[in-house]
Structure formats: structure tokens, C-alpha cells
Structure 1
Amino acid sequence: MKPIDVVLPCLDEAAALPAVLAALPAGYRALVVDNGSSDGSPEVAARHGATVIAEPRRGYGAAVHAGLEFSTAEIVCVIDADGSLDPRVLPVLAGFVDRGEADLAVGRRVPTSAKAWPWHARAGNAVIAGLLRRRGLPVHDIAPVRAARRADLLALGVADRAFGYPLELLLKAAGAGWRVREVDVAYRPRTAGTKSKVSGSLRGTLRAARDMAGVLR
């Protein structure tokens, strides 16, 4: 398989980055997009071999888009930098795209413990995923980890720059008639010292729900 770029949106993930970057498969280039960290994340990422991209505009979608624009690989993966998802799943997802079996391959989180996915985040995700299935998209999650061709992703024109980005991506993929393949992925508690910007608190979940509701409207 050709070299693949991996975009890792990053905001204060210094504790998790070493293990996450070490777990990337051979041939997968880490593009850590720093979104204004104050814990030395960019320096940690650089020391562990990642290419670091600074994106001063806050927001998950802003970080992902910056990484996508910087990327030069034909196939691009996106995964969180907090250690909750195992990068070794990336060749499975990228393989579906590379073989022409899917236009977008995404992960469906399967929590390894109750601590990995709080009830409020799981409930919100279930509602959103149900709405997506009603629109004809066969998914049960909002693509927390994914792979697709860079040119195709850019052509979709996803405009959200906050937490609504993954949802808009899925909606536009469905509208474009993309073949979407979903794969179960283990969802682990985050590395000690990190906290999810979404599911780590009820407030974070509500903020993400607000962004996603805006996309659905």
C-alpha cells in the first residue's frame, strides 16, 4: 500500500502522544495538528517523529481540515490523539478504501469499560446515529476514526469547523452516494492525564450536541 497520512487533531494531549505515535503502523505518517495546546504537545509530538501543524483557530473541524490541506498522501486517516483508539485499526480502514471496497471507512466504538464512554455521550451518539440511519447511512457511530481519499474529502466541501465536522462529513458522503463501511473498534479509557473535550463532561457533550444540531438544521 502507498504511504498514508494520519491526521491527529490535538489539544493538550502531551501525556497520550508518545504511545499513540509509537503505535502507528509502518508507512503511516503522523500529522499532529496542534489546536492551541498549553502542555507542550507540539514539542512532544515532534520529538516522537510527527510532523506538527499549527492551527490557531480552535475547533475539531478546523484542526482536521488543516491536516487534510497539509497532507500529500492519496489516502488520509483521521484518529484522536488521546489514546482512546488503537492506531493499529488504521490499515483495516485504509485497506477498504485502497481496494475500492468503500469510499469512506469508519470506526464504530465498542467501549472496553464503562469509564471509556460516559452515559451522556453514548446516549447523544445513539440519537445522532439513529437520525443518520433514517437518512440512509448504515452507521451506528459518528466516525470517530476514518479513512478516505484526500481528494474526495476535499471535494465534499465540509464547512463545519467545530464538533459538527464528522456529522457533516457523513451527511455529505451520503448525499454524494458514497459507499460507507463501518468496522467495530475498541474504545478505551483515555490516557491518564487527558480528558475528552466532548464526552469528558456533560458540558462538553452538550456543546458537541449544539454543533451537531446546527449541522442537521
Structure 2
Amino acid sequence: MITHGHQEPPSVDVVLPCLDEAEALPWVLDRMPPGYRAVVADNGSRDGSARIARERGAVVVDVPRRGYGSAVHAGLLAADADVVCVCDADASLDPAQLPDLVAQLTAGRADLVLGRRRPTSPRAWPPHARLGNAVVARRLRRRGVRVHDLGPMRAARRADLLGLPVTDQRFGYPLELLLRAAQAGWRIVETDVDYHPRVGRSKVTGTPLGTARTVRDMTAALASLR
């Protein structure tokens, strides 16, 4: 763990929500930048993900309550670094790019930095999933949240994140996080990150029907938030 010295960069914890990502985790953990500690929030994996994470030196938090938001929140509670990043554990995003996000934060240019996904191949982001993301992002912009992607890679200060009144424990967590951050007057900045084909099938938007349901449910969730 990097210490908080005058000349030292801030310590960084990386929360990795995880559900059956044994195949992807070795690559993800091996790509962690020096000084960045992986906190794997295991959401009930049955494929040995937790064991693999521990063998590679990650902190593992068992999260029995299913849901993306539940896993992220448990990871935030387990983290103790000043700066916390969140990144998917499916190898679709490269942890080696996290310092680019953290630099925006620590330079004082933003309170929340989002990785705006740029697909590296057509397989990385199927058209139906990309369209669904664009629809929800457009509706967020109508609410005053100037973002183009609800990307799962982000960086912020841990204390600030824990201070936001985010209650969604499932897939609506990123949506509510962005809305609450904007309501709190946070400066939200996007920076481009590579988006690779994930290892395994998406648990949310793996099919056009799944994407349609997600957009429907997120739209309803957004309408309910004030």
C-alpha cells in the first residue's frame, strides 16, 4: 500500500465486483498497476473466483447479497485507500489504464472520473448493448448529468462515494450514482478507455432482449429518482 507522503502518489484501491469470473481474473489482476490494490467483491461465485483472487494477492470480500450495487458497496467498505477505482472483472477493461482516470482526479479537475468506453472490435460492444447505453445516457443528460456512457470503470475519493445517498443494490447502481453525484454538484469528467470483448457472457446485456429489459428497468428507476 502506498503511503500518504508529500511526494508520494495517493494510495488506490480497485474494487472488482465479481460473479464467476475465474477465467478472466488472472489477466485482470496481473494488469493491476503498481501500488494499486485489488479488492475483489465476490458476489457468490461458484467457479473458484475467490480462490484465484486470493492466490494473486487480492483482498477478497464475500458479498452474499446478490447485485452489482451490493458488491460495489461492500468493496468500498472494505477499501481503505483515499482514492478508489471500480472496474469490471471480466477483462473487458484494462486496469493498466486506471492511472489515467486517477490523474484527472488528483489534479483537481474532477470529483468523479468515468472511463468512456471505446470498443477495440465490433465484438466488444454489440450494437444492441451500445444502443441501450446511449438511450439511458441521453436520458441522464436530460436530467443535467453530462455523460455519454454509464461505463463501469470510474475513480473517485472513497469518503465522497460513501457520502452519496445511493440506495440501489442492483444493476441500477451506476445510474443512481451519476444522478446523485450531479445533484451534489460533483464535477464529472469522462476519459476514453479501451473496451475489449469480455471473457464469458454478459449477465445484464448479453442479448437484445436482455438489453431491452435493462433499458426499460433503468428508465423506470431514473423516473423514480428525485
Q: Give the TM interval when normalised to the shorter protein.
A: over 0.9
Name the structure 2 match of 1:209.
215
Where in structure 2 are the equivalents of 1:189-200 lying within 5 Å?
A: 189-191=197-199, 194-200=200-206
Alpha-carbon shift at residue 127 of structure 1 (Å)? 0.6
How many angstroms apart in 1 are the aligned matches of 2:76 and 2:157?
10
Is structure 2 residue 128 aligned with structure 1 residue 116?
no
Q: 1:206 to 1:162 in 2, by over 3 A?
A: farther
Q: 1:42 aligns with which of 50, 53, 58?
A: 50
User: Helix, strand or coil for the counterpart of 1:115?
Assistant: coil
Alpha-carbon shift at residue 48 of structure 1 (Å)? 1.1
How many angstroms apart in 2 are the aligned matches of 1:31 and 1:93?
18
Q: 1:95 aligns with which of 103, 108, 111?
A: 103
Q: 2:189 aligns with which of 176, 181, 184?
A: 181
Q: 1:211 to 1:51 in 2, by over 3 A?
A: farther
Larger radius of gyration: 2
Alpha-carbon shift at residue 5 of structure 1 (Å)? 0.4
Given that 1:117 and 1:199 are in contact with CA atoms closer than 8 Å, whether structure 2 keeps it comes out as no
How many angstroms apart in 1 are the aligned matches of 2:221 and 2:91?
27
Given that 2:135 and 2:215 are in contact with CA atoms closer than 8 Å, whether structure 1 keeps it comes out as no
TM-score (norm 1): 0.95
Name the structure 1 match of 2:3.
none
Where in structure 2 are the equivalents of 1:127-166 lying within 5 Å?
A: 127-166=135-174
Alpha-carbon shift at residue 203 of structure 1 (Å)? 4.2
Given that 1:164 and 1:214 are in contact with CA atoms closer than 8 Å, whether structure 2 keeps it comes out as no
Aligned length: 215
The structure 1 segments of at least 4 consecutive aligned residues displaced by more than 3 Å after TM superposition are: none
Q: 2:74 aligns with which of 61, 66, 73?
A: 66
TM-score (norm 2): 0.91
User: Helix, strand or coil for the counterpart of 1:178?
Assistant: coil
How many angstroms apart in 2 are the aligned matches of 1:175 and 1:117?
30
Percent identical among aligned pairs is 61
How many angstroms apart in 1 are the aligned matches of 2:103 and 2:197?
26
- Structure 2 unpaired stretches of 5+: 1-8
How many angstroms apart in 2 are the aligned matches of 1:57 and 1:208?
20
User: Helix, strand or coil for the counterpart of 1:114?
Assistant: coil
- Alpha-carbon RMSD: 1.2
Render the CA deviation track for 1:28-62: whole Å, top value 9, x for unaligned: 00000100111110001111111110001111000
Name the structure 2 match of 1:12.
20
How many angstroms apart in 2 are the aligned matches of 1:207 and 1:63?
21
Name the structure 1 match of 2:4.
none
Q: Which amino acid aligns with 2:202?
A: S
Where in structure 2 are the equivalents of 1:15-26 lying within 5 Å?
A: 15-26=23-34
Render the CA deviation track for 1:128-157: whole Å, top value 9, x for unaligned: 111122222221101310000011111112
Q: 1:203 to 1:41 in 2, by over 3 A?
A: farther
